[in-house]
Amino acid sequence: MSDRKTAIVTGASRGIGKAIALRLAKSGYNIAVVDACDLDKSEEAVNEVKALGVDAKAYQCNVADFEQVGNTVTQINEDFGGIYILVNNAGITRDGLLLKMTEENFDSVISVNLKGTFNFIKHATPIMMKKREGRVVSISSIVGIEGNAGQVNYSASKAGIIGVTKSCAREFASRNITFNAIAPGFVETPMTAVLTDKQKEAMFAVIPLKRYGQPEDIANAVNFLCSDDASYITGQVLSVDGGMHM
């Protein structure tokens, strides 16, 4: 497509993923917008990205499906001629106390959030290794560090992402591929819009900076970890949460 480097952003049609896609586009990367079902929304995101002067394309892919991810990564590599950045952002919640949590709700959250991250890393890293450079940033969560009542499945998936990040950072350091995770606190997106006012107020009360996070706050941190300024940073978990976790 062009000689710009390419970034894959999963779950990029809305919320944090879309903000990441736009921020990386501003830094001059071509963007592969990956999403599960809403191709119209992905096309909207693609058009917004293209308006910033880079190339972009939408890919419909369930991150939890190993084979689909393999085919998608191959297609992206063919379309753009390489992959430099992978942002594992796609994620879901299926909240409930452990005593009420179904096996299906445990499995689906682990499949999308954790296995989806593994699937993309597994298929993208051989391409990065050939060029001996790459950046992988995966979106964890404050609850992957601290735990949270009602989110056994989600916090396990997000803690798992931290384990994957640190292990891969060690495995791929000699290939000049860095792996880092970001742990957002409370960010205003469609994911958190479903919470009750009472739940939101309880969150607000424990945010030292006294404002909710915005998708751009996370996108700026991803952009930093993908920049040359972060070339000596790997295996880290960066909290972007207004000071909730210290």
Positions marked catalytic: 154
Q: Which CB atom, from 37 or from 173, has the smaller least distance to ligand NAP?
A: 37
Q: How far apart are CA 154 and CA 139, in angstroms?
A: 12
Q: How far apart are CA 117 and CA 90, in angstroms?
A: 8
Q: How far apart are CA 119 and CA 8, in angstroms?
A: 13
For 79, phi then psi, to 5°, come to: -65, -40
Q: Which residues sit opposite 180 in a β-bridge? A: 137
Pairing label, strands 6-10, 134-139: unpaired
CB of 37 to ligand NAP, least distance (A): 4
Q: Which CB atom, from 75 or from 192, has the smaller least distance to ligand NAP?
A: 192
- Binding residues (CB under 6 A) for ligand NAP: these are 10-11, 13-17, 35-38, 62-64, 89-92, 112, 139, 141, 184, 186-187, 189-192
Q: Which CB atom, from 108 or from 176, has the smaller least distance to ligand NAP?
A: 108
List the one residue out of 21, 73, 8, 3 whose CA is nearest residue 215: 21
